[in-house]
Amino acid sequence: MTETQRSQNRRPWRIVTAAVAGVVVIAITWAAVTFYGTWSRSDGEPTSVIVATWMRDNNMGPLVAQLEDVYYTYIDTPDVGGSPTISADLSAEDSAGLDADELAPSEPPQATTADAPTPVASAESRPLLLTPVDRDRRPTTQPSPSPSGATSTLPAGTRPHLDPPPPIISPVDDPEPKEGEWQPVGTKVDGIPATYVTRVRADDVHTSYYASVLWIDTELTKAMFVPGYEEPGGPNPYDGALPQEYWPDVVANFNGGFRLDDTRGGYYYDGEMVRPLVKGRASAVIYKDGTMTVGKWGRDLKMSSDVAVVRQNLDLIVDKGRSQVSNGADNVVWGATTDKESLAWRAAVGERADGSLVYVGSPYLSAESLADVLVGAGVERAMVLDMNHWWTAGFYFRHKKNGDPVCRKLDPAIQEGCDRFLKPYKRDSFQFLVRDEPLSTPVPTPTVAPSATTATAGQSSSMP
């Protein structure tokens, strides 16, 4: 074979090699450019989160799910047995690093008969929920039993409020002191605790970890949804931050749901249907009077002129007070990994029968144990929120005399600082602010002077 013939035979291979090299260069360039774009938009996220976000942004979500499954199955695995390394007693965390002289007064002025609250709105003038069950939960003219079974009576000048739930029963035989007991935390509203927290083991196997649970009094607070500057898309009036004018009133905030593409649902915000709402999906609804509810779209909830926000995310994980997590082999997915077996940071928000809200955001929870904790807290309906360590974050607040919020992490292991949802942020958050005026009206009774009342949470929701 002549040299000319050998050269001609090698030419096709050179073309193929050059073409492959060109493709590789283009792929590397594309990856570098797109990854830089994702990295430049990160909010201090760890490299693993940035890489996973970049992969999901570029249609590699199923691969990310498989990698996460491997990670939680073989790498980040919880201990079996043992005792918790954090305390179930919240008193030290709640007051840590603060002098009492720095804090805003927690007690209201002494009330007199003349100070008794005046009606702020009739039941008929407030937005109503749209099912008979919800309408029945409007404030009535007679005191009704509190969640613990006792009747709540209020002296003159005291705002209507809800009672915290009964303790959550621990699944372990020898619970730690204060485990499962609701403890008042954070800034009070007119001297009344608006938030309570408890910690309890989620199962009797991984006993060195607590699930941290936040309870919110929806009589004393109003809900506000703050879209992130990237998710879930649509209007973005706040650049992902709670406006500073509301900082003196914030009592708690926590993470929103999955990226909209992963929710299997829709999203409505302030008059704009960002993505069509899906019948049957779990939905957190905020109404224009500041109240919030959780339910199944099309059954418990539907669109009306009173609706300000609808955020959907998968299916109800708790419905009618029962866990909806079934066998891990079925096709119901409660996250980007398996149905219930992956033990990861998970979050959810649920509603109790009295309208109060419960948030759980903790490590090493399966979908099953997450649902079990919510059921233990008396939740009737619950929607899962975001999951994995970086995205699961819940906070409550105290305030200094000048109104500056002092943040507390619901779980000490939550990553980064407490101001995550106060400053510009890429993901959405649920914010809870002091309600300036009572949602329901105290009503005198013949047996208590000068007035007595109980209130159930109003069943509409909104932004301030």
Q: Taking a C-beta distance cutoff of 8 angstroms, is the pair 398, 214 a contact?
A: no
pTM, two decimals, is 0.79
Between 160-169, 213-222, 431-440, the lowest mean confidence (pLDDT) is in: 431-440
Average pLDDT, the chain: 79
Q: What is residue 280's predicted lDDT score, i.e. its pLDDT?
A: 95
Q: How far is residue 150 CA from its own chain's centroid? A: 29
**Which residues partner with 193 through β-bridges?**
188
Sign of CA dihedral 85, 90, 91, 94: positive
More reliable by pLDDT, 223 or 72: 223
Q: Which two tokens stand for residue 283?
A: 């939905």
Strand order in the sheet with 405-409: 221-226, 429-434, 250-255, 394-399, 405-409
What tokens were used for 162? 């809800």
DSSP H helices, 41-90, are 47-57, 61-70
Angle between the 61-70 and 47-57 helix axes, to the nearest 10 degrees?
150
Neighbours of 182 (CB within 10 A): 22
Within 8 A by CB and 6+ apart from 381, the residues are 282, 294, 295, 296, 300, 316, 318, 319, 320, 350, 351
C-alpha to C-alpha distance for 323 and 347, rounded to whole angstroms: 15
Q: Round to whole Å and give the CA distance between 346 and 388.
A: 6
DSSP 114: G
| Average pLDDT estimate for 369-377 | 97
Task: Tell whether the model's pLDDT for residue 166 goes beyond 90.
Answer: yes
CA–centroid distance for 110 within its chain: 35
Examine the pLDDT at 421 and tell me if it is beyond 90: yes
Give the model confidence (pLDDT) of 76-118 as tens digits: 788 999 999 999 999 989 887 776 666 666 554 443 333 333 3
Cα 354 to chain centroid, rounded: 18
For the chain, percent of residues with pLDDT exceeding 90: 56
What are the structure tokens assigned to 429, written together? Answer: 């958050």
pLDDT at 239: 94
Neighbours of 103 (CB within 10 A): 15
**153 in Cβ contact with 454 (< 8 Å):** yes
Please give the C-alpha separations between residue 325 and each of 211, 227, 311, 367, in angstroms, as whole numbers. Answer: 18, 29, 21, 7
Express each pLDDT in 30-83 by its tens digit. 667 666 566 666 666 766 666 656 666 666 667 666 666 677 677 778 899 999
Roughly what angle, to the nearest 10 degrees, separates helices 3-40 and 47-57? 110
For position 209, what pLDDT does the model report? 96
* DSSP string across 347-377: EEEEEETTS-EEEEEEEEE-HHHHHHHHHHT
SS3 406: strand
Per-residue pLDDT tens over the stretch 124-165:
333 333 222 232 322 322 223 333 433 344 454 578 999 999
Residue type, 218: T
Looking at the chain, the whole-number percentage of residues with pLDDT higher than 70 is 66
